[in-house]
A = this chain, B = another copy of it.
Amino acid sequence: MDEGGNEAFATGDAEPFDGTGRRPITLADVAREARVGESTVSRVLRSHGSFSEKTRARVEAAVARLGYVPNRIAGTLASTGSRLIGIVIPSLTNIVFPDLLRGATAALEQEGFQSVIAVTDYDQDREEAVVGSLLSWRPAGLIVTGLEHNPGTRRRLAASGVRVAELLDTDGPGLDIVVGYSNRAAGEASARHLVGRGYRRIGYIGHDLTKDRRAAKRYAGFRDALRETGMGPAGEERVASPSSVEAGRQGLAALLERVPDLDAAYFSNDDMALGGYFHCLAHGIAVPGRLALFGYNGLDVGRLMPQPLATIRTPRVEAGATAARLLCTGSPATVVDLGFELIEGATA
């Protein structure tokens, strides 16, 4: 009607009219603006195939002039594989999973992939649901945590044919790619270390092991290694909540109540151990003279305690990065054991 007389109507074929937020600009608009074919624009934008320098400049100028943003939804649908990787983690509360995410998203970005994340709250049924949800985005790959999945999840993964990387655990058979370390061995190493340092009344303070399978494996390794020495745990306390500083503090308090002559405490992770340390500080319990403390994960906070925490450092960021890289590069199925490092610290 008025000037130019158009707007939403893509009437003839000559209505670029990017305007101030009307009809979204498409690749066809760019092609018209640059006076080249659509496929040429596509080639230039993806630096794929051949085109002259002059063409590249024309296309780039048109893109800039129109403020064109490619539509990856359309691009993904048209091409074979997507550039998405789904990441499934049990929790965002425990810093180890953001660490894993950090490694994965950094590597993914480098390879030109984007990540979609989902959280299960340590619930296998929720895992099945979010895996289904992620699969509907037709990702190039999926990163999941641990090796334990319910049958529905396994079936969906298998049926989808999507590559899968299972992280942070190598104690058991994997589906495809496995990147991590042995939680069982970590538990054993912790027990042996404590025994080697002369502790004899060693207790365990853990959280809800039915949900956190990797913590359960560490516990099993710890317990079995202790039994091999003929002693076994001097006492155990399982807090019915997820792991946290608070759970560690309460757990140690409760255990000491029941087993006053404990000389060492093995916690299911560093957060719990930090809670235990706070309990000791608050109650004047000398560490490690009266009670030794041992954690798991090797968090920064443990290193900076007045007495550095004895713990096991796990390569979480590296595991995320490695898994991402293997998925992006289409590695064959494999198991990568990144190992762990025992940190002697000063609390045990």
Contact = CB atoms under 8 A, between A and B. Distances in A.
Interface stretch (A129-137, A163-171, A323-331): A129-137
A318 to B, nearest CB: 15
Interface string A150-178: 00000110011100000000000000000
Interface in A110-126: 114-119
Interface stretch (A97-105, A194-202, A218-226): A97-105
Contacts of A155: 67
Nearest to A67: B159
Nearest to A275: B304
Interface residues on A, range: 35 or more
A37 interface: no
Contacts of A38: none
A38 B117 CA distance: 31
A160 B18 CA distance: 11
A176 B105 CA distance: 28
Contacts of A102: 92-93, 119
25 contacts: A21-B159, A67-B155, A69-B135, A69-B159, A70-B136, A71-B77, A71-B136, A73-B137, A77-B77, A92-B98, A92-B101, A92-B102, A92-B105, A93-B98, A98-B98, A102-B119, A105-B118, A114-B118, A115-B116, A117-B117, A245-B304, A246-B300, A246-B304, A281-B306, A282-B306
